[in-house]
Amino acid sequence: MNYPSITHLLNDENKPYFEATKDQKLVIQYCSVCHTHQFYPRVLCMNCFSDAVQWVEASGKGKLYSYSVVKKTFIPEYKDKVPYIVALIDLEEGVRLMSHMVDIDEGDLFVGMEVSVVFREQIGEYKLPQFVPAK
The string over 89-115, giving b where at least 16 C-beta atoms fall within 10 Å of a residue's C-beta and e elsewhere, is: bbbebebebebbbbebeeeeeeeebeb
Minimum CB distance to Zn ion, residue 49 (Å): 7
Q: Does 128 bind Zn ion (CB under 5 A)?
A: no
Binding mask 30-69 for Zn ion (x = CB under 5 A): -x-xx----------x-xx-x-------------------
Q: Does 82 bind Zn ion (CB under 5 A)?
A: no
Contacts with Zn ion: how many residues (CB under 5 A)?
7
Neighbours of 27 (CB within 10 A): 20
The site for Zn ion (CB under 5 A) is made up of 31, 33-34, 45, 47-48, 50
